[in-house]
Amino acid sequence: MALLDILTYPDKFLKKTAKPVVNIDGALQKTIDDMIETMYNAPGIGLASIQIGCDKSVLVYDPSYDQDRNSLTVLLNPKIIEACGETVSENEGCLSVLDFRSDVKRSASLIIEALDREGKPVKIEAEEYLAIVLQHEIDHLNGILFIDRISALKRELYKRHIKKKLKQDEK
Ligand code: NI
C-alpha cells in the first residue's frame, strides 16, 4: 500500500468531474486501498479520487474518525437522488484547502445511491454530520470545493492568502 499525494487548491485537477467507474478491477482496488491509507494518515474524515489525481468516481470516508475503521465506507459512482432541508456545516475544512475553514450551507438530509467496492448497489440515507460529509465528498467528484459554496468576498480573501503564500514559498 502506498500513501498518495493529496492535491491542494489551486491545483486545476480539483476542478475536474469524475467519470463513472466501469471496470472494478485490481488496479481500482489498489487505488481504493491507497486512498483509505492516505485518508487515515492525513488524518481526514473523507477523501475523493479527484483529490489524489484520479478521475474515476470513488470516495472513501469514516465519519467516526477512529482507527479501528468500523465506520469505513467505500462508494463508487455515488449520486444524490434526494436532498432535503437546509443546515449550516460549521467550520468546514478540507485536506485540499489549506489554512482555511468556513461555515457552509448544506442540505440537512440526503438519499444516495452508489455501488460498494464489489459493485453491489447500495442506498444510503444520511442526515446531520454524515449528510454534510457526503455532500462535501460528492462535491469533489463534481469538481467543487467548499470554498465554491461560500461568499465571493470570503473566497477572494482566501485566494489572496494562498497566492501570497505560494509566492513566499518560491523564495
Ligand atoms: Ni475535501
Return d(Cα 91, Cα 18) in angstroms, integer. 26
* Residue 33 CA, ligand 1 centroid: distance in Å: 18
Segment 118-137, tens digit of pLDDT: 999 999 999 999 999 999 99
Calculate mean pLDDT across residues 9-15. 97
Report pTM. 0.95
Per the structure, how many domains does the chain have?
1
* Residue 124 CA, ligand 1 centroid: distance in Å: 20
* Residue 23 CA, ligand 1 centroid: distance in Å: 25
Q: What's residue 134's pLDDT? A: 98
Report yes or no: 165 and 99 within 8 Å, Cβ to Cβ: yes
Return d(Cα 97, Cα 102) in angstroms, integer. 11
Residue 122: CATH number of its domain = 3.90.45.10
| Length of the chain in terms of residues written | 171
Q: Is residue 50 part of a domain?
A: yes
Collect all residues with Cβ–Cβ distance below 8 Å to 23 and sequence separation of at least 6: none
Domain around 52: 12-170
Q: 90 an active-site residue?
A: no
Catalytic residue among 90, 127, 128, 137: 137
* Residue 50 CA, ligand 1 centroid: distance in Å: 10
3-state secondary structure of 41: helix
Residue with cell 469524475: 18
Report yes or no: 53 and 22 within 8 Å, Cβ to Cβ: no
